[in-house]
Structure 1
């Protein structure tokens, strides 16, 4: 498992919620140092801690584990959809063409 990638996704989700490591730690009932260690990928959290983090950050577990879980592709599609949802139509079409070209290779 790529603990650094998972930790980075946790950090990104935390920052999107405008939370500090201290905020997350308090809500998950772990130390801020433990949050830091998890986000750096130095340690993998216990399952109950991981679930608590996902719940507090309001993200799915598979979105945090997208490069680890083979069946997390729905999460990838969902993230792509969310990323382009508010773009103008011509930008969406440009992205669709680029993705189509990449898939055809």
Structure 2
């Protein structure tokens, strides 16, 4: 299991919610030091602690596990589509054009 990847995802969602590591640790009921080790992939949280983290961040498990489960690309595509969908139309078109070029040249 790639706990470093899971920890990075936890950190990303914590930062997106403007939470300090201390805030998340308090909400979960663990020390700030422990939360830091989880985010760095140095500690493996129990299932109970992982669920508490997910609930505190108001995210689903697939969002944190996206890099370690086989269906992770589907989750990433959904998250990316959601982010792109919030952009103005001109920005969306620019991004789609770049992606089209990258796809056309992939594997060549």
When the two structures are superposed, what TM-score results if normalisation uses the length of structure 1? 0.86
Deviations 1:43-99 (A, max 9, x none): 121111111101110111111111101123332122102221232212212222332
Q: Secondary structure at the match of 2:55?
A: helix
**1:23 CA displacement:** 1.2
For residues 68 and 10 of structure 1, the distance between their equivalents in structure 2, rounded to whole angstroms, comes to 13
**Residue segments in structure 2 that go unaligned for 5+ positions in a row:** none
Any gaps of 5 or more consecutive residues in structure 1?
Answer: none
Runs of 4+ in 1 over 6 A off after TM superposition: none
Q: Does 1:28 align with 2:46?
A: no
Higher mean alpha-carbon deviation, 32-41 vs 18-27, is at 18-27
Q: Which residue of 1 aligns with 2:57?
A: 57
Task: State the partner residue of 2:43.
Answer: 43
In structure 2, the partner of 1:74 is 74
User: Taking structure 2 as the reference length, what is the TM-score of the superposition?
Assistant: 0.84
1:98 is the counterpart of 2:84: no
Offset of residue 100 of structure 1: 3.1
CA distance in 1, matches of 2:44, 2:101: 37
RMSD of aligned alpha carbons: 1.6
